[in-house]
Amino acid sequence: MMGDVKAKIGPNNEGVEHVMGRHGFGNMNENGELFSELCASHDLTIKGAVFPHKTCHKTTWVSPDNITENQTDHIAISRRFRRSLLDVKNKRGADIGSDHHLMIANFRFKILATRKKIETRRKK
């Protein structure tokens, strides 16, 4: 799940260590509390706060006056596939005509081929 959820989660993860990391930006707001509860109830991990990056690579929204910056866009992934997401950061130089920065996520999937079991009968 990813998108602009208007949730600031911040670096404080006491009680929700399994949901988010300690590398968030800003202070948690009400939407951040609701988002972390949603992720906890659906067994999701907020991956934007897991990876240690500079502040400029964490902020995803810039106000029109170019002073206020927040981390309001997030990528949440199932805890089952949490090792598949290698990195999440923003791309500030992308010309997309928005006050949001483009988010980049690196994935690595390991897909196992299913093998048909060949039944062998033993002769007695």
Which tens digit of pLDDT belongs to each residue from 26-72?
778 888 888 888 888 888 888 777 777 777 777 777 778 878 887 77
What structural domains and CATH numbers belong to the chain? 2-107 (3.60.10.10)
CA atoms within 13 A of residue 53's CA, in its CB half-sphere: 20
Order the strands of the 73-78 sheet from edge to edge.
2-4, 73-78, 44-46
Mean pLDDT rounded to a whole number for the chain: 78
Q: What ranges make up the beta strands (E) of 5-100?
A: 44-46, 61-62, 69-70, 73-78, 85-91
- Report how far residue 101's alpha carbon sits from residue 26's, in angstroms, rounded to the nearest whole number: 16
- Any residues with CB less than 8 A from the CB of 85 and at least 6 apart, and which? 47, 75, 77, 105, 106, 107
